[in-house]
Structure 1
Amino acid sequence: MSANQLPLNDAPAAALACVESMLSQAHLIDGEHYDELREPDGSVRPTWTDFWSHLGAPLQDLSRRQHLLTQQIQEDGVTYNVYNATGGPSRPWSLEVLPMIVSASDWQALERGVMQRATLLERVLRDVYGEQRVLHEALLPAALVQGHPGYIRGLQGVRPIGGVYLHMLAFDLVRGPDGAWWVAAQRTQAPSGLGYVMQNRLIVSRLFPDAYRAMNVQHLASSYRQLVDTMAALAAQCAGGEPPRLALWTPGPYNETYFEQAYLARYLGLPLVEGGDLIVRDEHLFLKTVQGLEPIHGLLRRLDDDYCDPLELRVDSTLGVPGLMQVVRAGNVVLANALGTGFLESPAVHGFLPALSEALLGESLQLPSAPTWWCGEAAAWEAVKPTLAQQLVRPTYPCRPGPECETLYGPTLPASSLKTLEARISQNPSAFTAQNYVPYAQTPVWTEDQLQMRGASLRVYALSDGHGGWRVVPGGMTRIATRDDGPVSMQLGGSSLDTWVLTEGAVDAFSMLPQSVRLEELAQRQRPVSSRTAENLFWMGRYTERCEQQLRLAQALINLRAIDDEPDEAVLRALSALGITNGLVPPGTPGLDRSGRVFERVALEALIDADAKQGAFSLAFNLSALSRSAEALRERLLPSQTRLMRTMVSDFQSMASAGGHDEAVPISARSGEVMAALDHLAIQLSAVTGAQTDRMTRDAGWRLMSVGRMVERLVGYASFLRAFWREGAFQHPQGFDVVLDLFDSTITFRARFQRRLEVPAMLALLVLDETNPRSLACVVRRMRTELGKLPARTGAQDDLLAWLPYEGLGVTLEELCDPQAGHKAVQSLLDRLVEAGWKLSDEIGRQYFAHAEPNDSMVST
């Protein structure tokens, strides 16, 4: 039997045929790489035999499942940000359909080694920031610690709460040709990926439910619960008897792993905060919320050390919290992980861990690193220099991205480059570390409708229990290369696999859903609304309404040009003015009454100009802004909501751009394409507003979103009426029709007044009728209601409500229709309402987003 025709023991005949067909496509692995699929004798490894036997589908079904996986990633909006990508930073997360399978026996050995390593690194940190025995005895060179920017001198002698430095660790592992695991890197500052690990599991386990259950794949949820419980237990020591408040600290939406940070925050039930959301007062940390300042006792941080405090660390950081170091020194916050752990990420440290393990633990290191030489030691550099062509050369210390910071693969370098590299190391040997290259193990991947083998690296996570013990998350993130010999890197286009760890015992059935909730926890579970979140919600409401108004204006322009009757000049002037003030055309564009063809062509081009290159902030621009606000609110919105807003942007651009920019294309033809795009967009916007109304929790953030929408509606609709009133456009039936369309009130008007196009009827319906949701009186009434329900702040509601009439609009229909003073009364009312809208917007920002009050009025306990 050939190596490609492999027995499946007791597997069904159909499964046997399927597997033999697949394996015939998978090339054999040479002896330099470990084969995750085959035993050395060519037989299928038992784990994969078991998996294939539960597949229960023909070969082509894997392609169908891969399609379902890709579709699910797109629907969930799972992304990974690539900093140097052109045309925008985000790309869909890359996940393969087949899992990485780790046997129970393999995992037990790996787990023991990871826990020992985690214990060792924790001991090293306690010593380095304590008595410094390892430095005095030269077990770890001082240059690697005190010369590393990850060592923070200002924390020497400062013991973190509970004495825990490392709450979460990540180790990047590779399996050598003999099947042994080696540590390639360790992440001690802010390990990333746990959100992707859970997302991968949720998707892939549903694609293979039978195999997932039958193979006893260990679950992940209890590990995530332990992370939160450990932080909460430690943070309780500085919470003053109150339930501790925790948060997940993100660098922001442009960070490469922002999606998984938002996903993890939602899964763990923690608010997602940025540095700008936090503030230090009297050596305590607070979250800026719409209720005021609320104390924060624990932060699961995803920000590297040097960005965390611009006062004492990196002064140019806009991501950190000024004064955070002082809060840490005062023992008033738990940081996971503690500041100052970054020096352990240096590859040079790996070479000293065996001796450190013997000295600090009295044990040999069970999970070794690849043989490592720090070139800063003269003897090490002389020893490794002759073998430079077989080594990986890494920077010892952090450096800015660029050629000087790249990891160099000696086996791939030509002789001239090796000579140059040797000269560079000789000039500054301490800046370089050499490691033996461990060839990546090869694991099966289904790609391009066939089975292929790819190099794989496994990232595993260890979580502290707060008492010196560790739990290794039973799984992890397997990353694969896109080519046989390519690098394993997500930034360089790599992909990921779900990691199945098999267990010989019972599967842990723990769920993140709590079995019982204490009454005192209920208030804490009503998460505070940070000021940044509230501001994003406020602007999401405004952008939603702004898009709808611009859509109706664009439809009015196209419809007016399409009618058979000659457009009234007053109506044209009013629409021209609104086109400029609402961003449909740039200032200085000739009006419709002067050059209708030019105005319409400019407006059509500006509609799809998402970058506002012409100076017109039109529909595509505001749709993109709406989508960005949704991306910044991932932890609050349903995936379907953010997906819908992304879809609106792409759909509108593709449909409205179908005619291109060819001057030879008639305006009428392009108008038809744009009108179809606008009609489609109108349906999508209705779905967006429906989700905002009925599928979001009505907390303070939702109320500010509603207020934002009403502010935009008040200013926009009052401006619509004011433009037509000033131009006297209601003297022509076209003026009535256009305004009724802009207010979406045509059907209501005709049901009440038929074709009696009279000014009093229009004022009654569009200005004073509180039953019409588009009328100015109804908008003001809703604003009064929502403003009155905002969180109580000193004088906030009174200051805001003062800009609105106490009751109704403060004017009667008789006054507005008075033959002598009515025209001026309408003009004055509309001016007041527009001004009130802008003033309210400014005051809301001051009260709830800027936190400009004195300290004692801001703290909420």
Structure 2
Amino acid sequence: MNDSDILLQPDTFRMHVGTAPDEAFAADGTIHPHWRYLLDGLTALGKTTLQERQEKAQRILRDDGATYQRYNTPDTDATWQLNPVPLLINSEQWSETETALIERAELFNFILDDIYGNRDLIHQGIIPPELLFSHPGFLRPCDQVKLRGMHQLIIHSCDLVRDHDGKMTVLSDRTQAPSGAGYALENRIVMSRVFPSLFRDSHVHRISLFFTRLRQKLLELNPNDGPARIVVLTPGAYNETYFEHAFIANHLGLNLVQGNDLVVKQGYVWLKSLEGLKRVDVILRRVDDHYCDPVELNGSSHLGTPGLLDVARQGRVAIVNPLGANVLENPAWMRYLPAIARHFLGRELRMGSVRTWWGGNADDLAYMCDNLETLFIKPTYRRPGLYEVYGAELDATRLQAWKNRILKNPAGFVAQQYLACTHTPTWLEGRIQPRATVLRTFAIASENAYAVMAGGLTRVNLDANDPVVSNQRGAVSKDTWILASEPEKTAARATRTQQAPIEHRHEIPSRVLENLFWLGRYTERAESGLRLLRALFLQLNRSETLPDPLYRTLMSALTHVTCTWPGFTDHSIQGRQQAEQEIVSLLNDQQRIGSIAFNLHAMTDAAEQAREQFSSDAIRVINAVHDELGNLNRNLLPGTFSAADTALGPLISSLLALSGWMHDNMIRGYDWYFIQTGRCIERSLQLISVLRSLLVKVPDTSFEDVLLEPALQWAESHALYRRMAQEGLRTDCCLELLLLNGDNPRSLMYQFTQLSLYFAQFPASANRTREKKLLLEASTCLQLVDIAALAATDDGNLAERAELDALLKKLHLLITAIAEEIARQYFDHSASPQMLVNQSEWQELL
């Protein structure tokens, strides 16, 4: 049996036919015609090649920084998972599905308009009032808040499976801030790179037009005069789908903001940038309804913008989807959709929903309690820790517990008929196997109707025994290929509404700039510690044994520079074994403030908070830094320090690659200037610490070269010094090179010169000049020094350079003051307004 023979075993699929609908195989086990080319092509590739293609896809996803965080298993690999076998749907099938999805989106738009408007559905008895008013997603403060145009629901999403008759059926609707479209686009980009021939020859419909329409719709929603300023509102880097938020913002060319990046003033929403407030007209939100406004919706929220809802109420900002849309995600709506459709559309829906019973209806409640063991149980309002369960998987005790929970709050739960999820061919364990999948589709309000993405996000459960397909429960994704009957023509991409482009270069939120500033600082801290370790290893591995005072000075320098107290200042550390344990901790202990691992993780966290500023190449370099740190953790252990200086090299090289990317690829905007400012400030402080720890107190002047060499090696200036000074190592020459040589990019004077250039690019303001004055004082102080006096030592048993120490102390204070002034002037730390009384506490009092 050759490699390709075991790739696809049709008998495996025939076993599943009848237990659940299958996308690729008919009831008699034959392959559907539109699947034949793909499966034949994958079989021709063979097991080994297909495995290599999957590994390549995962490398691309990781290099792109595509992540998805599972809250219940936070320690697992967060890289987005993509199965290499796509879901295929032919044009005829998709045409019917697309028509039904457009109709469903229109219906939900009518519902949203009605429940926050006239509420005819309640007045005419089509739905019970409890369905709406008992649901936490119905926000009374949003009553009568309207977007311009005929559509209130801008983005609608559905999860689909096939029923036993093979018809597409809706499992759930997403209307609040539907996620997945960005992941679908990322999947498509990866698949087109991994399987270029299969993708091209299959004539797959493009999905990029969906995002063109999304951007166009956002422009059309502008409620104010002038060009529209659009932002994407995210809860932050710790959200499960943060990658998608940044990805969509970058793809659409929009600013990614958090709630505290915005402020409400004079009846409008404004973006806080270095050059002042910039009016925001449209917000594509990825923050849940309740958290968007801490004044009117949730007083404990720190994710929203105080007063945001009032601006929307006045029609001065458009929020997509509108606040309050979460109420439509209540699965109990499916119980009443047939009647609602007859009311608004005058006919039944083309696509049905899974049969649903709602606990708020007495007859439904009785049926639920009597048949719980055969039904899916879902909460009507999604919240952390409360998920859907399948009654057939529960024992008698747990079934009774769920029944008691439902009876305690009947309106809070629904039960749905169990529909076995559609099976699709899935690459797993070296062969193609059938696995349960769910397709999520997306519709966007466009012109006078909705337009549906020609594809979607398919999720597949690799566990054959798990009936629930959910990313949070370990499901992975697939690309979705809608196959054209003939090669697709290039669609016109010109926008209908022309507006002058808005220059976003100077509109970076101050929060992002602060993270970039600290990205520069943490990068320098990590590189400084690694360089010093490497330089000291070279000295410690000399053939001659160093005197103990000199050894102590060298080792204590590590502690002083990294601030990992007490470290080597604690004289209880004796012997090589204890010293190696301390160095391993200094390198690998992520919880130890000042360690290399701590600084590198802080650097990557800062980069994550400003992800939208980085290209995939930059993310790839940051990933390389993370990989090299992992290699160091595994390879540099106590007892393996014979070539430790060599082991540190790859990590230093990765940091240099990141610096090179910043220097050669970033546009010279505020983002670049603040990164470089942070680096110059930290490099100055690190240089001062190195000089103070190595050259101020000299335990043995006859071995002073042992202290000068690591200082020069740390500053990447040893070779330069040898070319400039022929008479050997001298303290005054070293100080001249490291303090005053303006041509040396590692010298203190060079840092001051660069800072002066960067400060000149900062926004001009009468209140923003103190950092320049502090820099001028530090620069002047340095220029007036007498190098000979700095190099001179006091008489005594322990030689000390008091004048050098005084100078370095003063410069350290001035540079620290510059950093504090930058933070005070440019980074906003003001607290946002909140509700006077917490809502939950107020309800308890009532």
TM-score (norm 1): 0.89
Q: How does 1:409-448 map to 2 (within 5 A)?
A: 409-448=390-429
Partner AA of 1:803 in structure 2 = L
* 1:350-383: CA deviation from partner (whole Å, max 9, x where unpaired): 1111101111122211111111111211122234
* 1:765-819: CA deviation from partner (whole Å, max 9, x where unpaired): 11111011111111100110111112334432x2211011279544557733259
Moved more, 136-145 or 756-765: 756-765
Q: Which position in structure 1 is the counterpart of 2:54?
A: 66
Q: Which position in structure 2 is the counterpart of 1:849?
A: 827
Q: Which position in structure 2 is the counterpart of 1:583?
A: 562
Question: Structure 1 residue 202: deviation in Å?
Answer: 1.0
Partner Cα separation in structure 2 for residue 593 and residue 554 of structure 1: 21
Moved more, 725-734 or 244-253: 725-734
Moved more, 46-55 or 264-273: 46-55
Q: Which position in structure 2 is the counterpart of 1:779?
A: 751
Question: Structure 1 residue 752: deviation in Å?
Answer: 0.9
Q: Which position in structure 2 is the counterpart of 1:632?
A: 609
Q: How does 1:171-320 map to 2 (within 5 A)?
A: 171-235=158-222, 237-238=223-224, 240-241=225-226, 243-320=227-304
Contact 2:216 2:497 (C-alpha < 8 Å) held by counterparts: no
Q: Which position in structure 2 is the counterpart of 1:646?
A: 623
Q: Which position in structure 2 is the counterpart of 1:712?
A: 682
The question of 1:721 aligning with 2:691 is answered: yes
Partner Cα separation in structure 2 for residue 38 and residue 81 of structure 1: 34
Contact 2:557 2:694 (C-alpha < 8 Å) held by counterparts: no
Q: Which position in structure 1 is the counterpart of 2:814?
A: 836
Partner Cα separation in structure 2 for residue 361 and residue 257 of structure 1: 35
Pair 593,564 (structure 1): closer, same or farther in 2 beyond 3 Å: farther
Question: Structure 1 residue 843: deviation in Å?
Answer: 1.0
Pair 560,494 (structure 1): closer, same or farther in 2 beyond 3 Å: same
Question: Structure 1 residue 233: deviation in Å?
Answer: 1.4
Question: Structure 1 residue 336: deviation in Å?
Answer: 0.7
Contact 2:558 2:568 (C-alpha < 8 Å) held by counterparts: no
Contact 1:444 1:454 (C-alpha < 8 Å) held by counterparts: yes
Q: Which position in structure 1 is the counterpart of 2:537?
A: 558
Pair 597,208 (structure 1): closer, same or farther in 2 beyond 3 Å: closer
* 1:166-185: CA deviation from partner (whole Å, max 9, x where unpaired): 11111001111211111111
Q: Which position in structure 2 is the counterpart of 1:143?
A: 130
* 1:53-91: CA deviation from partner (whole Å, max 9, x where unpaired): 55583432323322322232233232210112253x652
Pair 510,777 (structure 1): closer, same or farther in 2 beyond 3 Å: farther
Q: How does 1:549-698 map to 2 (within 5 A)?
A: 549-567=528-546, 571-572=550-551, 574-583=553-562, 585-587=564-566, 589-590=568-569, 595=574, 597=576, 600-612=579-591, 615=592, 617-658=594-635, 660=637, 665=639, 670-698=640-668
SS of corresponding position for 1:460: strand
* 1:603-658: CA deviation from partner (whole Å, max 9, x where unpaired): 3122333333xx55211111121222222232221223223323323323433443
Moved more, 642-651 or 681-690: 642-651
Q: How does 1:509-528 map to 2 (within 5 A)?
A: 509-510=490-491, 520-521=500-501, 523-524=502-503, 526=505, 528=507
Partner Cα separation in structure 2 for residue 337 and residue 586 of structure 1: 51
Partner AA of 2:629 in structure 1 = F
SS of corresponding position for 1:111: helix
Pair 825,442 (structure 1): closer, same or farther in 2 beyond 3 Å: same
Contact 2:588 2:633 (C-alpha < 8 Å) held by counterparts: no
Partner AA of 1:610 in structure 2 = D
Partner AA of 1:640 in structure 2 = D
Pair 55,406 (structure 1): closer, same or farther in 2 beyond 3 Å: closer
Q: Which position in structure 1 is the counterpart of 2:364?
A: 380
* 1:296-324: CA deviation from partner (whole Å, max 9, x where unpaired): 11111111101111121122222111111
Partner Cα separation in structure 2 for residue 516 and residue 171 of structure 1: 28
Q: Which position in structure 1 is the counterpart of 2:798?
A: none
Contact 1:652 1:677 (C-alpha < 8 Å) held by counterparts: no
Contact 1:100 1:498 (C-alpha < 8 Å) held by counterparts: yes
Partner AA of 1:69 in structure 2 = A
Pair 685,306 (structure 1): closer, same or farther in 2 beyond 3 Å: same
Pair 712,252 (structure 1): closer, same or farther in 2 beyond 3 Å: same
SS of corresponding position for 1:691: helix
Partner Cα separation in structure 2 for residue 851 and residue 420 of structure 1: 47
Partner Cα separation in structure 1 for residue 705 and residue 368 of structure 2: 89
SS of corresponding position for 2:161: strand
Partner Cα separation in structure 2 for residue 645 and residue 574 of structure 1: 34
Partner Cα separation in structure 2 for residue 348 and residue 789 of structure 1: 57
| Structure 2 residue corresponding to 1:389, chosen from 353, 368, 373 | 373
Contact 1:572 1:591 (C-alpha < 8 Å) held by counterparts: no
Q: Which position in structure 1 is the counterpart of 2:770?
A: 799
Partner Cα separation in structure 2 for residue 46 and residue 737 of structure 1: 73
The question of 1:457 aligning with 2:438 is answered: yes
Partner Cα separation in structure 1 for residue 620 and residue 819 of structure 2: 28
| Structure 2 residue corresponding to 1:538, chosen from 517, 520, 534 | 517
Partner Cα separation in structure 2 for residue 725 and residue 415 of structure 1: 75
SS of corresponding position for 2:465: coil
Q: Which position in structure 2 is the counterpart of 1:770?
A: 742
| Structure 1 residue corresponding to 2:477, chosen from 496, 509, 520 | 496
Partner AA of 1:753 in structure 2 = A
Pair 51,815 (structure 1): closer, same or farther in 2 beyond 3 Å: closer
Q: Which position in structure 2 is the counterpart of 1:8?
A: none
Moved more, 674-683 or 712-721: 674-683
Q: Which position in structure 2 is the counterpart of 1:858?
A: none
Contact 1:391 1:437 (C-alpha < 8 Å) held by counterparts: yes
Contact 2:778 2:811 (C-alpha < 8 Å) held by counterparts: no
Q: Which position in structure 2 is the counterpart of 1:817?
A: 788
* 1:273-298: CA deviation from partner (whole Å, max 9, x where unpaired): 11122222222112222222222111
Moved more, 126-135 or 587-596: 587-596
Q: Which position in structure 1 is the counterpart of 2:841?
A: none
The question of 1:82 aligning with 2:82 is answered: no
SS of corresponding position for 2:209: helix
Contact 2:273 2:506 (C-alpha < 8 Å) held by counterparts: no
The question of 1:485 aligning with 2:473 is answered: no
Partner Cα separation in structure 2 for residue 627 and residue 327 of structure 1: 36
Partner Cα separation in structure 2 for residue 186 and residue 398 of structure 1: 12
Contact 2:147 2:221 (C-alpha < 8 Å) held by counterparts: no
Contact 1:571 1:727 (C-alpha < 8 Å) held by counterparts: no
Would you say how many aligned residue pairs link Structure 1 and Structure 2?
Answer: 821
Aligned-residue Cα RMSD (Å) equals 3.0
* 1:649-675: CA deviation from partner (whole Å, max 9, x where unpaired): 3323433443645xxx4xxxx322532
Moved more, 842-851 or 799-808: 799-808
Partner Cα separation in structure 2 for residue 640 and residue 672 of structure 1: 34
Contact 2:161 2:168 (C-alpha < 8 Å) held by counterparts: yes
> Unmatched 5+ residue regions in structure 2?
794-800, 833-846
TM-score (norm 2): 0.91
Pair 511,64 (structure 1): closer, same or farther in 2 beyond 3 Å: farther
Partner Cα separation in structure 2 for residue 66 and residue 767 of structure 1: 53
